[in-house]
Structure 1
Amino acid sequence: MTSTPTRSAIGQNRVLDYASTERQVTSSVAELLAGSPFIAYGYAYPHKTAYRPLAPPVELRALWAEEDRRALFVYVHVPFCAVRCGFCNLFTQKHPPEELPARWLSTLFEQMDAVAEAVGVGQADTGFARWALGGGTPTFLEAGALEALLVRLRERFGVDLPTTPSSVETSPETCTDDRLAVLEAAGTRRISIGVQSFAEASLRAVGRPQAAPLAVAALDRIRARSFPILNVDLIYGIAGQTPADFVADIDHAMRWAPEQVYLYPLYQRPLTGLGKRARSWDDQRIACLRAGRARLLEAGYEQVSMRMFQRPPASLGLDPGPAYCCQADGMIGLGVGARSYARSLHYSDDWAVGAAGVRSIVGEWVGRTRADFEHARHGFVLDGDEQRRRWLIQSLLQVAGLERQAYVERFGATVDADFGSTLAELGAHGLLEDDGATVRPTTLGLEWADAIAPWLNSPAVRAASRDYELR
């Protein structure tokens, strides 16, 4: 892969894909702050654009034998959606052929068998602290298929579904009573629904083919059931949207008293519907973020990250379940498009955004056998430096911050010895605060999280992402 994804400018906004520009990756923090805070969603490190074919493939049994498996996260990715929004770059296929979901489920069960054996499910030193269904849209599956998936997850991986903290994604189009009944019976703790906006004009502007009443009805159905946590996703930065409009969306969502609200900036990316039409977004994203944040804080929510706001956990009265640390504990990804995280290797299938690329990858995947799932064939090897950098980046994206002692216990060295000058530079510009025991992002640091994260990427990850050929 040698070609570089297109980088362009529309209006006064810099449109960046998954790699940072040379100016950004070589800049100081002062130069970074002269640009846009909206570069790319800061989540897992490294991004999948840094993944490459593994030669030779890595045997999963040997890989996981070296890992701490006491508190794993098992995640199932469902790569299908009823609709594809204009801003979406998730690995998902819209309107798959009628027979494809059943073939996918059958292949998923083969993968589950192979991976459960490789990870050591049933052994005393293997346990699961979290489970989740994402996508795509898990509730695209019919109720019977959804129930079969959950039964298999419980039986093959030994996950106690009702007592283990969990999350399932849904959409207004697929949030039906029969599917919700299956999720409720399984003890699903958290339901997350992508509403994005309640304003018809905003929905049209982002290529969201749904009417607002569809989301209202879906939220009513969710609240009629016993899910302890409802999360509502909303988007800001839509063309024509003002901060007051965004606050109105938040107030509308408050009618259902969601325990969590995620505020997402709108990104325009290559090969998405909006990207193909070369449409811009509003220049008022920071103003919308600040207005939305103020409204949620006023309503008693706590900010956890740039995007996540939640009611104080203690007020919910929920058992937190087994301890899980996203920086330290592993994740088992199941289904085409899912990522798995071991300490020294992140792996997945190949990745695409365009419809043809997704169809090709899914079509190949559903033809695999159990033996095909015994090895990882596509991923990124994390050496000691990359493991430290991952811990740094993921910690600084959260209000909880980076605990110095936890870093020492993990790596046998201090974060100041490894990244002292970087922390000092970020702190000098008001992006971090340091009480001696913990380094945390400031409010300004959270606003700039989507620029700070790619700025902290290693040269190797930058180079790999820069050379990735998106399809």
Structure 2
Amino acid sequence: MTTSTATATGIPAVRPYESYVYAYPHKTAYRPLPERPALRELWAAERKDALSLYLHIPFCEVRCGFCNLFTRIGAPEELTTRYLDALDRQAVAVRDALGDDEPVRFAAAAFGGGTPTFLTAGELERLCDIAEKRMGADLRAVPLSVETSPSTATADRLAVLADRGTTRISIGVQSFVDAEAKAAVRPQRRAEVEGALGRIRDARIPVLNIDLIYGIDGQTERTWLTSLEAALAWRPEELYLYPLYVRPLTGLHRLGAGVTVPEAEALEQAAWDEQRLRLYAVGRDHLLAHGYEQVSMRMFRRADAPRESADGPEDYACQTDGMIGLGCGARSYTSALHYSFDYAVDMREIRSIIDSFTSTQDFSRAEVGRYVDASEARRRHLLQSVLQAAGLPVADYRARFDTDPWADFPAELAEFAARGWLDEGAPEGLLRLSPLGLAHSDALGPALFSPGVRAAMAAYERK
């Protein structure tokens, strides 16, 4: 855990925004797998009755200044065709690896990216066919979440998604204030955003999620409330409130945002941290007052919104064992190995990886990944549970691992308690974060990373 100055209690202070933990271990801890294990062997002993399916489309019409996702800008039609051809080949190989010795069932599906709706309506039909006809997922019978953007949420694309069973559409708005969108290097205007939201509502997809970002240069409490009110006017079933990060190799990083001379850096970072914490609290309190419940630091759900799954993960983080990822930026999770393809942020590197993916003929083996032993599995379970507002039932942890989280992580949990990050009023047997702890999720999560994962992440060469 990175420390700064000491607090009044004598406990070293921490930066509240270390890293967003959306998956553990992080992909920068993955390495090439020398043995290239066969997928058939990896999945042989795994449960296959409630798999999750994720299809990754690595294309966007523009790249936002804060984005470090695996995606490229624009793509000629022949490239999207080649990509879907490769996705089809991969789906055939993966489904073959799953075998037919026992029933294979998908309990949830998602299309992400990038921007899946960068594809044309016809290409989206083909994407759905790959999920259904190659993998055997019944998209109309399971929750299906799809990401979109204001400029690609067109009526014809949305009609395809609605007809094929989409239950949730997530649109990255980030800000309804044009000047803030420009500051985040996101070329859009509010009128375009409102038009897209209208088309989404017209498509009658049950769950609308709107992503907003706080901490943008020039953003104030007043302008933040402007965006929140504009979003609430559409009565979205879900809202995600993201703190802005300036990550290496992104557009904002190249422009110098968040980069200062050493003697001024600490003061500027502290001021930015304080701004983000303040705006987070404003957003949280505003949504709670307007009938939303907090699911995690980022996710808020309208109290009367439909639940897509009674037994699935509350947050849309890619955490679940039994994840099948298709596409060059997707991850797959077995109980013992997390695997994917190579990862990059730099545009030239991404183009090279996509070209390699589209020319691949044999998708029967895992190429890049990280093995997850029993100790890492316990860390992962604690992370994915305690970062949810509902918390971790200790009995569930004991049933799965035959041990206790306080016995496995005594130093970490003691520090969290000393900082006031644990809810002392939680019911007996429930390990739950306090409101202060939820606000510091991006410091608490990385504090649970193992030394081995930390070392691998530190040694990763960005590209």
Asked if TM exceeds 0.5, the reply is yes
Deviation of the 1:209 alpha carbon: 1.3
In the alignment, is residue 316 of structure 1 matched against residue 305 of structure 2? yes
SS in structure 2 at match of 1:55:
coil
In the alignment, is residue 302 of structure 1 matched against residue 302 of structure 2? no
Deviation of the 1:378 alpha carbon: 0.3
In the alignment, is residue 448 of structure 1 matched against residue 440 of structure 2? yes
Answer whether contact 2:390 2:432 (CA < 8 A) is retained. Answer: yes
Answer whether contact 1:164 1:321 (CA < 8 A) is retained. Answer: no
SS in structure 2 at match of 1:453:
helix
Q: Deviations over 1:398-428 (max 9, x none)?
A: 1121121111221122222211332232122
| Residue in structure 2 matched with residue 165 of structure 1 by the alignment | 143
Answer whether contact 1:163 1:321 (CA < 8 A) is retained. Answer: no
Q: Deviations over 1:61-85 (max 9, x none)?
A: 1111121222111000100000101
Deviation of the 1:190 alpha carbon: 0.2
| Residue in structure 2 matched with residue 230 of structure 1 by the alignment | 208
Tell me which moved more, 52-61 or 150-159: 150-159
Query: 1:32, 1:249 → 2: CA distance?
Result: 36
| Residue in structure 1 matched with residue 419 of structure 2 by the alignment | 429
Query: 1:32, 1:164 → 2: CA distance?
Result: 47
In the alignment, is residue 398 of structure 1 matched against residue 388 of structure 2? yes
| Residue in structure 2 matched with residue 342 of structure 1 by the alignment | 334
Q: Check 1:119–1:428 CA distance in 2 against 1; reply closer, same or farther (3 A cut).
A: same
| Residue in structure 2 matched with residue 99 of structure 1 by the alignment | 78
User: Percent same amino acid at aligned positions?
Assistant: 50
Answer whether contact 2:177 2:226 (CA < 8 A) is retained. Answer: no
In the alignment, is residue 270 of structure 1 matched against residue 232 of structure 2? no
Query: 1:343, 1:301 → 2: CA distance?
Result: 34
| Residue in structure 2 matched with residue 419 of structure 1 by the alignment | 409
Q: Check 1:318–1:411 CA distance in 2 against 1; reply closer, same or farther (3 A cut).
A: closer
SS in structure 1 at match of 2:110:
strand
Query: 2:11, 2:27 → 1: CA distance?
Result: 23
Answer whether contact 1:131 1:165 (CA < 8 A) is retained. Answer: yes
Deviation of the 1:110 alpha carbon: 0.1
Q: Check 1:442–1:429 CA distance in 2 against 1; reply closer, same or farther (3 A cut).
A: same
Query: 1:202, 1:33 → 2: CA distance?
Result: 34
Q: Deviations over 1:362-415 (max 9, x none)?
A: 01110001xx21110100111111111111111121112112111122112222
Query: 1:177, 1:442 → 2: CA distance?
Result: 43
SS in structure 1 at match of 2:432:
strand
Tell me which moved more, 143-152 or 129-138: 143-152
Answer whether contact 2:88 2:134 (CA < 8 A) is retained. Answer: no
Q: Deviations over 1:244-300 (max 9, x none)?
A: 211110100111110000000000011000001111397211111000111100001
Query: 2:10, 2:83 → 1: CA distance?
Result: 47
Query: 2:52, 2:140 → 1: CA distance?
Result: 15
| Residue in structure 1 matched with residue 123 of structure 2 by the alignment | 145
Q: What are the equivalent positions in structure 2 for 1:27-66 lying under 5 Å apart? A: 34-66=13-45
TM-score (norm 2): 0.92
Residue 212 (structure 1) aligned to one of 190, 200, 211: 190
Deviation of the 1:308 alpha carbon: 0.3
Answer whether contact 1:71 1:324 (CA < 8 A) is retained. Answer: no
Query: 1:316, 1:96 → 2: CA distance?
Result: 37
Answer whether contact 2:65 2:252 (CA < 8 A) is retained. Answer: yes
Query: 2:130, 2:340 → 1: CA distance?
Result: 21
SS in structure 1 at match of 2:122:
helix
Answer whether contact 1:165 1:321 (CA < 8 A) is retained. Answer: no
**Structure 2 gap segments, 5+ residues each:** 259-268
Query: 1:396, 1:317 → 2: CA distance?
Result: 23
Q: Check 1:285–1:276 CA distance in 2 against 1; reply closer, same or farther (3 A cut).
A: same
| Residue in structure 2 matched with residue 285 of structure 1 by the alignment | 276
Greater RCO, 1 or 2 (C-alpha within 8 Å, sep 6+): 1
Q: Check 1:237–1:324 CA distance in 2 against 1; reply closer, same or farther (3 A cut).
A: closer
Q: Check 1:287–1:319 CA distance in 2 against 1; reply closer, same or farther (3 A cut).
A: closer
Aligned residues: 443
Residue 119 (structure 1) aligned to one of 85, 88, 98: 98
Answer whether contact 1:107 1:368 (CA < 8 A) is retained. Answer: yes
**Structure 1 gap segments, 5+ residues each:** 1-19
Q: CA RMSD in A?
A: 2.0
Deviation of the 1:321 alpha carbon: 6.2
Answer whether contact 1:68 1:329 (CA < 8 A) is retained. Answer: no
Query: 2:341, 2:450 → 1: CA distance?
Result: 23
SS in structure 2 at match of 1:432:
coil
SS in structure 2 at match of 1:373:
coil
| Residue in structure 2 matched with residue 466 of structure 1 by the alignment | 458
Q: Which aligned segments of 4 or more residues in structure 1 are displaced greater than 4 angstroms?
A: 30-33, 321-328
Residue 196 (structure 1) aligned to one of 170, 174, 197: 174
